A and B are shown apart, each in its own frame.
Chain A
Amino acid sequence: MTKDFLQGFKDGLPVGLGYFSVAFAFGVAAVQNGLSVLNAVLISLTNLTSAGQLAGLSVIAAAGSLIEMAATQFVINLRYALMSISLSQKLDRRVTMPDRMLISFGVTDENFAIAANKEGTFTAPYFYGLMTLPILCWVGGTFFGAAAGEILPAAVLSALGVAIYGMFVAVVLPAAKKSVAVALVAILAMALSCCFAWVPFLNQISGGFAIIISAVVAAAVGAFFFPVRGEENV
């Protein structure tokens, strides 16, 4: 059990590193939008999501309604539901209900990427280990960003911005190298995502929805044309 925790802890290191820079940027933005350091840290501690928090910040800054806040979070973060369903299938059968409820707090894009990439099933201690550093770095980065905004040179902040995407590439590309079907699904998802970014009318759709639609369509096409046989990991 301890071994699982330590393995997860180690796997969480690159995530934590990436989170620190993104959270730092969020902290800076939060203070610029008139929030206190305490509020910024509280948001990061309770939400643990980059896109959702940034969107939430703009709702707060615009003094939007609570309904608007709920709707924004729902749309942007709905992708986590897909990830939780996917991870629920990879969880060790013995994982209890309270553990499931705690684990789900740590479902983020990056933790998901790592846990989904793991061979076979994973245990609760593994996921607790995995989410430890990301949570600490997310909250810590927010604190430093909010408290001491402009310490890091702009060039360093800019370079750190790409870290999380680099990690995503390191999950997708090796899998696409091994399976033509995964490669085609990934290319289709990116093509759809480009349409939502650049095609008039389609680019009016919010980022959260765009990701959900792109991913669901691409994965459905993959499942339909290249069904996975037998005991391959899900």
Chain B
Amino acid sequence: MRVFLYVLVMAGVTYLIRMLPMIIFKKKIENSLIRSFLYYIPYAVLAAMIFPAILESTATPISAAAGLLVALVIAWLDWGLLPTALFACAGVFLCEFIMKLL
């Protein structure tokens, strides 16, 4: 029963954070400084989440760095989201495989 209370609080808080801004900011924001800020926010949020957290995402930071390197190359070539993700995984897998052989 206690667990359900936890889940209720978790889900409630998380949903309100997502929902309230979506219904409050219905009109188009005209202020150019705020518009510019919102234009940069996605890239800033994603960049802050990528690094350094990516280094902790696999078994070792070395293989994660290999995956990041592969992702950078594929993304630079504009191959799209799914190929970038898959090749990055392959890069990590290969790197860890080679590390085991050494």
Contacts and interface: CB of A to CB of B under 8 A. Distances in A.
B15 to A, nearest CB: 6
Interface stretch (A1-9, A52-60, A139-147): A52-60
B52 A194 contact: yes
A227 B93 CA distance: 42
B19 to A, nearest CB: 4
Given A162-B57, A169-B68, A172-B43, A53 B37 contact: no
Contacts of B25: 84-85, 88-89
Contact of A165 (B71, B80, B90): B71
A103 B21 CA distance: 12
Given A53-B10, A162-B64, A222-B40, A60 B3 contact: yes
A35 B6 CA distance: 12
Closest 7 CB pairs of A and B: A166-B88, A223-B36, A46-B11, A170-B84, A14-B82, A186-B47, A84-B21
Interface of B: 3, 5-7, 9-11, 13-15, 17-26, 28-29, 32-54, 57-59, 63-64, 67-68, 70-72, 74-76, 78-82, 84-93, 96-97
8 contacts: A116-B42, A155-B59, A158-B92, A166-B67, A167-B81, A185-B43, A218-B44, A228-B40
Interface of A: 13-14, 17-18, 35, 39, 42-43, 46-49, 52-53, 56, 59-60, 66, 69-70, 73-74, 77-89, 97, 100-101, 103-105, 107, 109, 112-114, 116-117, 154-156, 158-177, 181-182, 185-190, 192-194, 197-198, 207, 210-211, 214-216, 218-220, 222-224, 226-229, 232-234
